[in-house]
Amino acid sequence: MTSPLPRSADPSGPSGPSGPSVLDLAPVLPVVVLADAADAVPLARALVAGGLPAIEVTLRTPAALEAIRAIAGEVPEAVVGAGTVVTPEQVGAVTAAGARFLVSPGWTESLLTAMRASGVPYLPGVSTASEVVALLERGVREMKFFPAEAAGGTAYLRSLAGPLPQARFCPTGGIGPTTAPEYLSLPNVGCVGGSWMVPAEAVAARDWDRIEELARAAAGLRAAGGTCR
């Protein structure tokens, strides 16, 4: 059964008015870097089995597009998305490959226009209050906070919750299993992004059992106090 995440019915926002948000699928969004597209399907199956259906495959390697295509075609239970999207051309390429959401480390007007036109949910990256306000003006309420730890961490996000309560975030960058619960306890955080459940050595060794175990522990952070809704 395919995990629910409809194409956006509302072009002004990252998710349709009646469908679930990327931020609500699990407490943790795995950030995946793959050097070999052949690892994509077993890795995705391990993450889904561990309770993390949303998977961000970053465009940092030549294998990324083929990895997205493979997961989209062979692991229907997964909600595969593309990360490190930085150009309008990449938006077209990853959606054609089957990406069901987009994540960028930052945004420009042309990139935002392309992501909006794609018809799939998107999380533009922000690290300042001004960037958040600019996106809210454009009807975008869900964002990636990046680089989370370097940009002020939980203290910064907590300070944004008062004046900008309508904004929700997926903080990513420097977050691990010990710091994730504090982020997830914040009212304006839907989920966190991280790579600790897909360590490079486990991927290289194709230790899918270990990755499933780490994913299950990450999925359990919801019960540990996370606020994914």
Catalytic residue numbers, as ranges: 56, 144
DSSP 140-198: --EEEETTTTTTTHHHHHHHHHTT-TT-EEEEBSS--TTTHHHHHTSTTB--EEE-TTS
Phi, psi at residue 30, to the nearest 5°? -65, 130
Hey, CA dihedral for 114, 116, 121, 127, is it positive or negative? Answer: positive
Round the CA-based radius of gyration of the chain to a whole number and report it: 16
Q: How many residues does the chain have?
A: 229
What one-character DSSP code corresponds to residue 102?
E
Q: Are 225 and 184 in contact (CB under 8 A)?
A: yes
